[in-house]
Amino acid sequence: MAPVLQSSQPWVEKYRPKQVKDVAHQDEVVRVLTNTLETTNCPHMLFYGPPGTGKTTTALAIAHQLYGPELYKSRVLELNASDDRGINVVRTKIKNFAAVAVGTVRHGSGYPCPPYKIIILDEADSMTEDAQNALRRTMETYSKVTRFFFICNYISRIIEPLASRCAKFRFKPLTEEIMTTRILYICKEEGLNLDSEALSTLSCISQGDLRRAITYLQGAARLFGSSISSKDLISVSGVIPEDVVQALFSACKSGNFDTADKEVKNVIAEGYSVSQMLSQLYDVIVESDDISDEQKARICKKIAEADKCLIDGADEYLQLLGVASNTMCAISNMPSFGS
Amino acid sequence: MLWVDKYRPKTLDKVLVHQDIAQNLKKLVTEQDCPHLLFYGPSGSGKKTLIMALLRQLFGASADKVKVENKNWKVDAGSRTIDVELTTLSSTHHVELSPSDAGFQDRYVVQEIIKEMAKNRPIDTKGKKGFKVLVLNEVDKLSREAQHSLRRTMEKYSSSCRLILCCNSSSKVTEAIRSRCLNMRISAPTEGENFCDTKVRRQLFQPMSMYIVKVLEFIGKKEGLQLPSGFADRIAQQSNRSLRRAILSFETCRVQQYPFTTNQPIPPMDWEEYVSEIASSIFKEQSPKRLFEVRGKLYELLINCIPPEIILKRLLYELLKKLDSELKHETSHWAAYYEHRLRLGQKAIFHLEAFVAKFMSIYKGFLIETFG
Ligand SMILES: Nc1ncnc2c1ncn2[C@@H]1O[C@H](COP(=O)(O)OP(=O)(O)OP(=O)(O)O)[C@@H](O)[C@H]1O
Ligand SMILES: [Mg+2]
């Protein structure tokens, strides 16, 4: 018996759409690009939107569909944040690639092969402003023979002169419905069983990020076999169980500093992510009936500050303790400290 | 060999703490297509042990044959070349390194060195696995740029390479990276079933497969030691749920006095003693002169490579012990405030000293108000 060749790719890669038309939920860009495939006309493009919504997928798919496997290497330059894209690279590597003239359309390959090259700058929001500025000229000078695809999460990090030269497409977080369809498709391929509760949990915890949904699904499938429950999915997702959040919240309501401190220490020892805790605590606070709006405002302000501090690399224990202490003060109408 | 190393379980079947996770890991790697993994949890909770056992599960005994190398790379950074020096630990199937050791040059490590490693397929094609593994330690200490640089590498070369990332605080790992990994939370083991807290915790959190006390008893048995009742409990209690620490102090006790006696003192860590002294001297007097003395002591700790945030947290712990409620809120607020500043700043000592000064002024104000 011939051994079955096992794919060694994780599911996210295995189920990455190879064709533009298979990209779900991003109708506008799919329409424009499908058009491109016929007319071979293509403007500079800017894709932006949250993680796992299909930006990289779409860019790679169109490039492959335009040139086919043979020409791809010579016609497409993909640079991402894992490449040095400082100003020097823009001036040399990118410029040199952009400057090369390309032959006219080759017939017979079965691919449109338009007479220009494509430079994909993925994760472009991590490029410095200087480097982006250096790109402006290159873009203009070689626009006959080169198209640029910029991809980023935050459009505000792309300088206006670049952005204004591109057709912009916002990639929306996937809706629950689309997510479900896609997940069900994978379940069918992999022989998995999800009940409707598990399905909606999965859409909910991945918050429109299909990559996350697929990763969780694969993790759960490996750990718990082919029948996956909502609880299994939560346990691989890093979402903190509701009773842990409630325990911290009640400790804050107890009015006893030491009780809260102990609970905070627990959260840390259990290894929960504090930024995750803050966002779940935030939800609990906002929905709570027995706290006044003013108290809620005080608490949320502090949560926001702590979140920023964590991004700066501050200590998780101290920040969570700060939030817990402040929450306690707010609930018992004691003055807060600082700011 | 130290007991912490001697009794580090080698295989997933032998681990005592986190048996449930170990079994899960085994299932995860039954197929070739396992996703990238992110291990996170407090220090001393057993992440490294699990990772090493996992490598062994993947690659067999050859994963144990590691060599340690100090490597130098010359990285071309446009206008200049940068020298990067890193220690790597590698077998034929895996490489382990801590990219954050390169400090502010960590971006180059990710862009050049790690990408290069990820690109190349494993040399040994006869091996069972078609991919190699890169273990990256302390990813929470990586700069933002370095973390961004990792994103696409994780996708692009995923057929030839798996990443195992390891860190203490997952909050410092960007969303984009977390979304590319299966997250494995490794909690600190609880002290033992005799601890009243543990019972409450077991209802709240997931059940623990093993307690620190059990591990100590296991080691004691292997070493042929007599443990008086309650002795392991006391060590566990002082360990702050760090298994590593518990085993270390167990061994220290063994060196200091054997046979053990029931109330044999369990030596605290030197530096913790020192911080506790600092706290008392702050309580005794709040003055510029005392501040100056305290500064010298803090400096001493820093010179001995105790990380500043650890000092600050310990100092807070000591101060909180002796304060009444309102001051506790205020003090913990300022501890968080100055630790954040410390992250943003350059010289740790400034911020530690600022915290002490702030506390002295708060405390003095309180004393005057209460006692006139
Ligand atoms: N719209 C979509 N249709 C189908 N699959 C999708 C879609 N969006 C994401 N996916 C799935 O999620 C994975 C990741 O998507 P992709 O790499 O395109 O994300 P991205 O938008 O580039 O995210 P990031 O901003 O983090 O780079 C793909 O491999 C694919 O399996
Ligand atoms: Mg992408």
Regarding predicted confidence, which is higher, A125 or B137?
B137
Neighboring chain B residues of A123 at a CB cutoff of 8 Å = 148, 151-152
> CA neighbours within 13 Å on the CB side: how many for A270?
25
User: Can you give the pLDDT at residue B126?
Assistant: 53
Least confidently predicted of A103-117, B84-98, B172-186, B297-311? A103-117
Distance CA B42, CA B242 (A): 8
Give the distance from residue B115's alpha carbon to the nearest chain A alpha carbon, in angstroms: 7
Contact A272 B325 (CB under 8 A): no
Decide: A208 in ligand 1 pocket, CB within 6 A: no
Same domain, A166 and A179: no
pLDDT in tens, B301-340: 999 999 999 999 999 999 999 998 889 999 999 999 999 9
CB B294 within 8 A of CB B282: yes
Neighboring chain A residues of B128 at a CB cutoff of 8 Å = none
Same domain, A249 and A231: no
E strand or H helix at B236, and its extent? helix B231-238
Say which CATH number the domain at A200 has.
Answer: 1.10.8.60
Decide: A15 in ligand 1 pocket, CB within 6 A: yes
B286 — phi, psi (to 5°)? -120, 100
pLDDT in tens, B336-350: 999 999 999 989 999
User: Can you give the pLDDT at residue A3?
Assistant: 35
Q: In this structure, how many other beta carbons lie within 10 angstroms of the beta carbon of residue A2?
A: 4
Contact B334 A338 (CB under 8 A): yes
pLDDT in tens, B145-191: 899 889 888 988 888 889 999 999 999 998 889 888 898 999 998 87
Question: Closest residue of A to B149, CA-based?
Answer: A82
User: Can you give the pLDDT at residue A104?
Assistant: 64
DSSP string, A294-337: HHHHHHHHHHHHHHHHHHTT--HHHHHHHHHHHHHHHHTTPPP-
| pLDDT over threshold 70, residue A270 | yes
Q: Which region holds residue A212: left if phi is over 0, alpha if psi is between -120 and 50, else beta? A: alpha
Q: Compute, in angstroms, the gap from residue A25 CA to the centroid of ligand 1.
A: 11
> CA neighbours within 13 Å on the CB side: how many for A80?
24
Span A4-28, mean pLDDT? 83
DSSP B262: T
CB B351 within 8 A of CB B338: yes
Same domain, A202 and A70: no
Same domain, A202 and A277: no
Confidence of residue B124 (pLDDT cuts 50, 70, 90): low
Contact A273 B169 (CB under 8 A): yes
CB B189 within 8 A of CB B241: yes
**Which of these three, A237, A264, A280, is where a domain ends?**
A237
Give the distance from residue A276's alpha carbon to the nearest chain B alpha carbon, in angstroms: 7
Kindly state whether residue A157 falls inside one of the protein's structural domains.
Answer: yes
Choose among B182, B313, B334: nearest Cβ to A317.
B313
Q: What type of residue is B162? A: R
Distance CA A31, CA B145 (A): 34
Question: Closest residue of B to A127, CA-based?
Answer: B145
Query: Touching check for A309 and chain B: CB below 8 Å?
Result: yes
User: Can you give the pLDDT at residue A329?
Assistant: 95
Same domain, A140 and A31: yes
| pLDDT over threshold 60, residue B294 | yes
Distance CA A259, CA A282 (A): 20
Looking at the DSSP assignment, which residues form a beta bridge with residue B73?
B84
Return the residue whose CA atom lies nearest to atom 13 of ligand 1.
A211
3-state helix, strand, coil in chain B (%, to 5): 55, 15, 30
From residue B372, alpha-carbon distances to B283, B301, B327, B367 in Å are 17, 35, 17, 7
Secondary structure (3-state) at B50: helix
CB B177 within 8 A of CB A215: no
Distance CA B55, CA A246 (A): 37
User: Can you give the pLDDT at residue A247?
Assistant: 95
**Which of these three, A196, A222, A237, is where a domain ends?**
A237
Confidence of residue B233 (pLDDT cuts 50, 70, 90): confident
Distance CA B219, CA B267 (A): 19
Q: Quick one: which atom of ligand 1 is closest to the CA of B179?
A: 26
**Which of these three, A189, A214, A237, is where a domain ends?**
A237
Question: Closest residue of B to A279, CA-based?
Answer: B171
Kindly state whether residue A199 falls inside one of the protein's structural domains.
Answer: yes
What integer best gives the mean pLDDT of chain B? 88
Q: What type of residue is A191? A: G
Same domain, A227 and A271: no
Query: Touching check for A110 and chain B: CB below 8 Å?
Result: no
Distance CA A136, CA A147 (A): 13
Same domain, A160 and A183: no
Neighboring chain B residues of A7 at a CB cutoff of 8 Å = 32-33
Q: Compute, in angstroms, the gap from residue B132 CA to the centroid of ligand 2.
A: 23
CA B182 to chain centre: 20
Kindly state whether residue A4 falls inside one of the protein's structural domains.
Answer: no
Kindly state whether residue A13 falls inside one of the protein's structural domains.
Answer: no
Range of the domain at A182: 175-237
Distance CA B235, CA B244 (A): 12
DSSP B93: S
Q: Positive or negative CA dihedral for B39, B45, B46, B50?
A: negative
b/e per residue A206-220 (b: at least 16 CB within 10 A): bebbbbbbbbbbbbb
Instruction: Give A100-107 contacts, CB < 8 A, sequence gap 24+.
Output: A100/A145, A101/A145, A102/A75, A102/A145, A105/A40, A106/A71
User: Can you give the pLDDT at residue B267?
Assistant: 85
A68 — phi, psi (to 5°)? 75, 165
Q: Say which residue the tokens 């494995």 belong to.
A: B184
pLDDT in tens, B243-271: 999 999 999 999 988 888 888 888 888 89
What integer best gives the mean pLDDT of chain A? 90
Query: Touching check for B138 and chain A: CB below 8 Å?
Result: no
DSSP string, A240-261: PPHHHHHHHHHHHHTT-HHHHH
**Residues making up chain A, counted from first to last:** 339
Q: Say which residue the tokens 């620190």 belong to.
A: B212
pLDDT in tens, A120-155: 999 898 888 999 999 998 998 998 899 999 999 999
Interface of A with B in 241-300 (CB under 8 A): 241, 243-244, 247, 256-258, 261, 266, 268-276
Distance CA A167, CA A163 (A): 8
Q: Positive or negative CA dihedral for B24, B26, B27, B29?
A: positive
Q: Positive or negative CA dihedral for A68, A71, A75, A79?
A: positive
- What the block records as the tokens of A30 is 């799919």
Same domain, A282 and A233: no
Contact B77 A319 (CB under 8 A): no
Query: What is the tally of structural domains in chain A?
Result: 3
Kindly state whether residue A118 falls inside one of the protein's structural domains.
Answer: yes
| pLDDT over threshold 80, residue A2 | no
Decide: A211 in ligand 1 pocket, CB within 6 A: yes
Same domain, A248 and A324: yes
Secondary structure (3-state) at B128: coil
Distance CA A65, CA A18 (A): 9
DSSP string, A8-33: -S-HHHHTS-SSGGG--S-HHHHHHH
Confidence of residue B194 (pLDDT cuts 50, 70, 90): low
Distance CA B171, CA B167 (A): 10
Return the residue whose CA atom lies nearest to atom 18 of ligand 1.
A54
Pocket test residue of A19, A53, A183 for ligand 1, highest count of atoms within 8 A of CB = A53
pLDDT in tens, A178-221: 999 999 999 999 999 998 999 999 998 888 899 999 999 998 99
Least confidently predicted of A5-19, A134-148, B233-247? A5-19
Kindly state whether residue A16 falls inside one of the protein's structural domains.
Answer: no
Chain A, chain B: beta-carbon pairs less than 8 Å apart = 207
- What the block records as the tokens of A102 is 């390309």
Q: In this structure, how many other beta carbons lie within 10 angstroms of the beta carbon of residue A192?
A: 19
Range with top average pLDDT, A71-75, A263-267, B20-24: A263-267
pLDDT in tens, B27-65: 888 887 888 999 999 988 899 999 999 999 988 888 888
CB A119 within 8 A of CB A79: yes
Quote the strand ranges of A51-203, DSSP E. Answer: 76-79, 117-121, 146-152, 167-170, 193-194
Distance CA B285, CA B289 (A): 9
Same domain, A182 and A153: no
| pLDDT over threshold 70, residue B203 | no
- What the block records as the tokens of B52 is 């090493």
Q: Compute, in angstroms, the gap from residue A50 CA to the centroid of ligand 2.
A: 9
Q: What pTM was estimated for this model as a whole?
A: 0.87
User: Can you give the pLDDT at residue B84?
Assistant: 87
Same domain, A206 and A318: no
Kindly state whether residue A313 falls inside one of the protein's structural domains.
Answer: yes
Span B195-203, mean pLDDT? 49
User: Can you give the pLDDT at residue B207?
Assistant: 41
Same domain, A126 and A252: no
Q: Say which residue the tokens 């805790």 belong to.
A: A277
Least confidently predicted of A59-73, A166-180, B207-221, B341-355? B207-221
Domains and CATH numbers, chain B: 3-185 (3.40.50.300), 193-256 (no CATH), 271-371 (1.20.272.10)
Say which CATH number the domain at A297 has.
Answer: 1.20.272.10
Ligand nearest to the CA of A54: 1
Contact B182 A312 (CB under 8 A): no
Distance CA B233, CA B153 (A): 46
Give the distance from residue B207's alpha carbon to the nearest chain A alpha carbon, in angstroms: 11
| pLDDT over threshold 60, residue B102 | yes
User: Can you give the pLDDT at residue B107?
Assistant: 86
Kindly state whether residue A10 falls inside one of the protein's structural domains.
Answer: no
| pLDDT over threshold 80, residue B197 | no
Substitution target in B50, B133, B171, B355 with the highest count of A β-carbons within 10 Å is B171
Q: Positive or negative CA dihedral for B134, A235, B214, B190?
A: positive
